[in-house]
Amino acid sequence: MKAAVLYGKEELNIDSDFDEPIMKESDVLIQSKYAGLCSTDRSLYRGFVPFRPPLILGHEIAGVIKDIGKSAKGLDIGDHVIIPPVYPGCEDETCSSCREGLTNRCKKSVFIGHGVHGGDAELIAVPSRYTFKINEDVPLDEACIIPDAVSTPFHALKSRSIPTHILQHTSNHNKLFERMNHWLQGKNVVIFGVGGVGGPAVNLAARYFQAKRVVAVDIFDKKLEFAKKLGATHTINSQAYYEENSIVINKLTGRDKAKVVSELAKHITSHLAEDKYQVDLVVDCSGVPDTFPVAVETASKNRTIIQVGWPPKPVSEFLNQKIMDKYLTINGAWACPMNEMKEIVQAVENKIVDLNLLVTNKEYTLNRLENAIHDLEAGKILGRATISIT
């Protein structure tokens, strides 16, 4: 079969006769049609994260079922489907993480396109249990971004945003997780980084969870214009703020840097003056280490910060006593539990997620995957790019 295979750092080949996957009885064989391009693909390509070659890339997959294993259930040949990038590898979800509902954090997680072969190939075999059917009227060149770019911020907003003390003091706290009663409804959200994941975060916060105000922060004006289309009520260019105030942030340290960070946070929250500067949730999708101190300063007391973007290095310095003083909840988000995938699919099918806006580049084919990675690095891809496999 044809596949995009990584043999080493920056050694990406489009093989025409790579071995086809071997199905298990509980698997379905999927003909990959489209794959989303993620910064993780770029990190693997550049050798920033370890992997065992040869490796077929691709973890955002949409395709059509070609064959079904003997014990596979609930799906038929010809069904349109998506695959979560991370799914449980333990038997019958019996590990401690799965038993706690964190199927996205299974002790034996399978991460396609990283730990095992991915879907940038004509065929991929995956357990039927973790294959999700989607209506045929959802274009597959848009549906492919659901498994990661959409599901990851969805899980963060839905399940990681509510402060513990609010759950403890709500008689029926399960209602706070339901869309029509969700805690974020009518709240103010600040999102740092409007890229492949930050864009969906803006869209979901505004449209699905119905936040009152969504403030998008980035360093590129074109991404901030993009954020407005996705539902942001306010946008802030943090780099422009520094330049307008003659600040060279990289040359500052200690209290001088802390003061500047605090002033930027005040500038961000000034857009919420009508709500007494209240910021109920901060989501960091940027993956930039220097963003975290700003997030801590921006969040209001007794509220939550969620780290969604993967930071390449640790935060060098910030006033961590702020976390104590402001009584903040700091949460991480990693992929999405299996029990939330169906809700995401339903949201897309009901057109509450603007996939047509989130996917900004559809011109790439498998043969041009390396070009797409270079364009992603060069900032030529505004939202999410999709790769045509066949």
Query: Which stretches of the chain score pLDDT less than 50?
Result: none
Q: Is 82 in the same domain as 199?
A: no
pLDDT score recorded for residue 319: 60
Count of domains for the chain? 2
| C-alpha span between 101 and 123 (Å, rounded) | 30
What is the C-alpha separation between 36 and 150, in angstroms, rounded? 11
Give the end of a domain, one of 296, 314, 332. Answer: 332
Instruction: Tell me the one-letter amino acid at 159.
Output: S
pLDDT at residue 139, as a whole number: 98
**Residue 388 has what pLDDT?**
98
Q: Let me know: does 83 contact 334? Beta carbons within 8 Å.
A: no
Report yes or no on 138 lying in a domain.
yes
Tens of pLDDT, residues 14-29: 999 999 999 999 999 9
322 and 361, same domain (yes or no)? no
Query: Is residue 61 situated within a structural domain?
Result: yes
Q: Are residues 32 and 180 in the same domain?
A: no
pLDDT of residue 250: 85
Question: In the prediction, which pLDDT does 149 show?
Answer: 97
80 assigned to some structural domain = yes
Query: Between β-strands 11-15 and 61-68, what pairing exists: parallel, antiparallel or unpaired?
Result: unpaired
Query: Helix H segments across 179-281?
Result: 198-203, 221-230, 238-244, 254-269
Residue 152 lies in a domain: no
Residue 155 domain-assigned (yes or no) = no
Q: Are 288 and 308 in the same domain?
A: yes
Report the alpha-carbon distance of residue 342 to residue 345 in Å, rounded.
5
CATH number at residue 199: 3.40.50.720
CATH number of the domain where residue 18 is located: 3.90.180.10
Query: Are both 322 and 343 inside the same structural domain?
Result: no
7 belongs to a structural domain: yes
Report yes or no on 151 lying in a domain. Answer: no
Write out the residue range of the structural domain in which residue 123 sits.
Answer: 3-145+336-388
- Indicate the SS3 state at residue 99: helix
**pLDDT tens-place string over residues 314-360:** 776 656 788 999 999 999 999 999 999 999 999 999 999 999 999 99
Asked whether 31 and 123 are in contact (CB, 8 A), the reply is yes
Q: What is the pLDDT of residue 317?
A: 63
Tell me, yes or no, whether 185 and 275 share the same domain.
yes
